[in-house]
Chain A
């Protein structure tokens, strides 16, 4: 009986591990973390969300900031292009829509671009967005 119970426990544990692995495999992209350099630049207000759906450099440009921003923007462009095609929209339409959402998703202290082109610091209030944003 003790042996059976041990087997049962082992089987349950293995099963749970398998389920966790499967779930982790599926959920991994959703929980992917920002690159530390990007996260730091974002938190420091050195980069901000632009209206057009891409990342911009807020203050003085450095080679390192340019590298980080270009890297993110190239990846974003690839995602926008794929999703735009899937939705029968243009790259610019999809990117602008994503910009609306990305600005809305900024947290207080982060930078974003207002419709007049100026950089704003997000507060707890709603961000200033393009009048066409949903």
Chain B
């Protein structure tokens, strides 16, 4: 019986040259495999754990509040029954 090979089976790495070449290829493969791991660290996306709250009062500026502060204080004094 004749075995059919799609590709030639590699001979055993008997010589020193073959062993060194094989080792280099192994290191390259390891380096290629490490690339996605490194990239994976760069694009980590974490889902927010708390709901997003839209602050409706954010457009009220501090200087407006400072301008109104004195009048508001007087209003509270003049309407003591409802404050």
The verdict on B75 contacting chain A, using a C-beta distance below 8 Å, is: yes
Q: Taking each of A87, A92, A101, A133, which has the highest tally of chain B beta carbons within 10 Å of its own beta carbon? A: A101
Asked if B65 contacts A133 (CB within 8 A), the reply is yes
The interface of chain B, by Cβ under 8 A from chain A, is 57, 60-62, 64-69, 71-73, 75-83
Q: Which residues in A have their C-beta under 8 angstroms from that of B76?
A: 98, 101-102, 105
When C-beta atoms are compared, the residue in chain B nearest to A78 turns out to be B82
Asked if A134 contacts B66 (CB within 8 A), the reply is yes
When C-beta atoms are compared, the residue in chain B nearest to A33 turns out to be B81
In the assembled complex, the Cα of A105 lies from the Cα of B66 at a distance in Å of 17
Interface secondary structure of B, over-half rule: helix
Q: Which residues in A have their C-beta under 8 angstroms from that of B73?
A: 101
Contact of A98 among B62, B64, B72 (CB under 8 A): B72
B83 to chain A, nearest CB (A): 6
Asked if A94 contacts B68 (CB within 8 A), the reply is yes
Contact of A31 among B57, B71, B80, B82 (CB under 8 A): B80
B79 to chain A, nearest CB (A): 6
Q: Mark A97-134, 1 if CB is under 8 A from B, else 0.
A: 11011100100000000000000000000000000111
Additional 20 contacts, C-beta under 8 A, given A87-B71, A101-B73, A102-B76? A30-B77, A32-B79, A75-B82, A76-B79, A79-B79, A83-B71, A83-B72, A83-B75, A87-B68, A89-B67, A92-B57, A93-B60, A93-B64, A94-B68, A97-B65, A97-B68, A97-B72, A98-B75, A101-B76, A134-B66
